[in-house]
Structures are given as structure tokens and as C-alpha cells.
Amino acid sequence: TMIKITTVLMAAWSRRAVKREGSRAPHVVERFLQRLIKEQDHGNQLVTINTSLYNKVLDAWANSNEEGSAERNEQILMRMEQMFLQDENECVKPDVSSYNAVIKAYVKNGNRYMAATKAASIIQRMENQLDTMGVSPNRRSYNLLLYAFANSNLEDAASHAEDILHRMWARYQDGDAFCKPDTNSYNQVLTAWARGNSAGFEDHMQTIYEELVNLPEEMAIRPNADTFNAVMGGWLKSDNPSTLERIRSILKTMEHSYASGNDAAKPDRVTIN
């Protein structure tokens, strides 16, 4: 009973990390894990240290705003990898949620330049270690990376984001259903181009936007208000003489989409502003 209570407490403290400024929750969750490890080492056969327990610690650090939380998360992940590779301990083998927690930690707490670089390196590590670790990036992995690039202000961020979107489609078409892009994937790429940091950004942004709105209905990927607002915001940064015409056209498409039953495309305050 106490072991079950401990795992429940770990999950509760992990969620608490995101709710309180300066929370010590990740340290508490780690101490719970260390206590369970000690019980197992002392021969308590009721205790099994597994990936799920480690993921609770990773989630706690990913939710934390404490300085160094992302680095601590990566240290724990590397320890899990070592235990699996050296001891062939399947119980603590990292899964995709483990890696995503570390990516999230860098995106949430790393500076804008480092976040994109670190997130990209972790995904690259997953892809490089596929034969040994057997863990592949999924849509959430890539969407976190897209978010990092969209908010990085790096000069070539938009180009990298578009390449990632193409990679997701390629993996989906090769049979990996977990990598299928969604509306959020497209929105992050559009946001990256809409920052207007690259020459000719309008053409890239418009192409991605038109690709999304023209996807076949069976793909179940529909634009939402954020989609249209991002593209209109991007055109506002352009000195192209067709800017006003473009924005009016996008608004018309948005209104038609909403009127046709796409509730997520309802114009909002940002749209009107």
C-alpha cells in the first residue's frame, strides 16, 4: 500500500511543479524515487523501478521553472540510457515520453537560441540511436522542436521549421502514423515565417498556408484561428503592395471556413485588430 501511495504522491508532486513559482517539487519527486530505489536495493521484492517512475521525475523537472532544470532532466535521461545499455535493464529503458520531457524542459526553460539547438540535438540522438534504443520521435517531439524554432528568432529558423514539417510528412508516408503533422505543426511553421526575418518570407508563408487549407478533408487537418491570424500578421510585416488584398482574402477564407462548420476558425479579437 505504501508503495502505491508513493507513486501517487510522485505524480501529484510532478503536477505541482507547474503550478507554483519556485516550487521544490522536482526535488521531492526525486527523493521519492531514491527512496524506492533504496527499498529495491535492500531486497524489497514489491518494488520495481521502471520507466514510468523515472518519467514522473522527468515530468517534474520539465514542468519546473528552476534554473538548470533542463540540464538536470538530460542528466537523468542519460542515466536511464546507461542503465539500459550497460545492464540491459529493460525496466528503465527510456521511451518517447522520456525524451519529450527533456525536449519540453529545454523549450520551456532554455534561452530561445539554446532551446532550438538542444531540442534538435535530442531528436537527432533519438534518430541516431534507433537501432540500440528503439525509440523514435513522434509528432509531439517534432511539434516541440517546431515551437522552439518558431520562437527562437534565429535567422534560418523558418527554413529549419519547414524542413522539419517535410520530414514529418515523409515519415508519415513511410508508414509512421505517429509522425503525421497536425494543425499545430503547420501553425508553428507559419509563425516562424511570419516573423519576417527572412527575405522572401511572404512566398514561403503563403505556400505553407495554401498547402494547409487545401489538404484533402480525409487528412483531418484543418486551419484554426491561430493559422489565419499568423498569416495575416505576417503579411502586415510585408511592404508588398498586395498586402491589404492578401489579408482581405485570408479573412474571407477564414470566415468561409467558420461558416462551413469549422468552429476552430472563428475570427477573434486578434483577427479584427
The answer to whether residues 119 and 111 touch, using CB atoms and an 8 Å cutoff, is: no
Sign of the dihedral through C-alpha 64, 65, 68, 71: positive
Residues 6 or more apart from 246 whose CB is under 8 A from it?
206, 235, 240
Q: What is the pTM of this model?
A: 0.92
pLDDT band (50, 70, 90) for residue 21: low
Helices (H) and strands (E) in the chain, counts: 14, 0
Helix (H, G, I), strand (E, B), or coil: what is residue 153?
A: coil
Q: 56-69: b or e for each residue (b if 16 or more CB lie within 10 Å)?
A: bbbbbbbbbebeeb
Q: What is the mean pLDDT of the chain?
A: 92
Q: Residue range 246-270: average pLDDT?
A: 97
d(CA 173, CA 202): 28
Over residues 93-125, the pLDDT tens digits come to 999 999 999 999 999 876 777 889 999 999 999
The answer to whether residues 181 and 215 touch, using CB atoms and an 8 Å cutoff, is: no
pLDDT band (50, 70, 90) for residue 22: low
